[in-house]
Amino acid sequence: MLERTIWHGRYKIIRLLGHGGFSVTYLAQDRDLPSNPPCVVKHLKPISSDSATLSIARKLFDKEAQVFYRLGQHGQIPQLFAHFEENGEFYLVQEFIDGHNFSQELTPGKRFGEEEVVKRLQEILEALAFVHQQRIIHRDIKPQNLIRRRTDRKIVLIDFGAVKEIGSLAVNTQGQVSSTIAIGTPGYMPNKVR
């Protein structure tokens, strides 16, 4: 049934890629561009459809989309091509990164030498340094959110659904960052956050 679904009059859904708490991600084709290139469509559903909630969700969605457009300027972060709203639900259209996730390179029992570890960390930290320069925190760094791109073998940082702008974080009187919601994946986030 997904193959027949077309969103925003141009994005033909091919298959499900994944789903999280408030979103579902699909592989799609952009029917408006020559050769119908692949893209990723992330479908975000607000918790409630009442007008006040939708108004707040719309503002947050537009603000986050602007962050994604900015981050996509880096070669190791997928570009955001479009964002739109239909029937009170929100959609992000991003560059599809053809490759495999980093967890496939982490074979149980396989040990990496120091040089290999340093090389992999440098690749990952290059993209993260750019993210931090933009005053953004990713908040869900894990092997599944790192893709080894097939064309140039570079590591690409994906899934910015949990990003946080540093300027909007609250700091308490002891100088600690406070947060009301823990975001991340157990096993990859600090224990104090959980």
Q: Do 26 and 2 meet the contact criterion of CB atoms below 8 Å apart? A: yes
Q: What is the pLDDT of residue 36?
A: 94
Q: What is the pLDDT of residue 190?
A: 57
Q: What is the pLDDT of residue 33?
A: 93
Annotated domain spans of the chain = 2-95, 99-193
Q: Do 76 and 157 meet the contact criterion of CB atoms below 8 Å apart? A: yes
Please give the CATH topology (third level) of the domain spanning 99-193.
Transferase(Phosphotransferase); domain 1 (1.10.510)
Q: What is the pLDDT of residue 5?
A: 87
Judge whether 140 counts as a catalytic residue: yes
Q: Do 37 and 79 meet the contact criterion of CB atoms below 8 Å apart? A: no
3-state secondary structure of 8: coil
Distances (CA, A) of 11 to 24, 90, 116, 128: 15, 14, 40, 30
Q: What is the pLDDT of residue 174?
A: 52
Q: What is the pLDDT of residue 2?
A: 58
Average pLDDT per block of 10 residues along the chain, 194 residues long: 75 90 88 95 82 83 87 93 90 95 90 94 93 86 93 91 48 46 54 55
Rounded-to-integer distance, Cα 185 and Cα 146, Å? 14
Exactly one of 30, 32, 98, 140 is catalytic; which is it? 140
Architecture of domain 2-95: 2-Layer Sandwich (3.30)
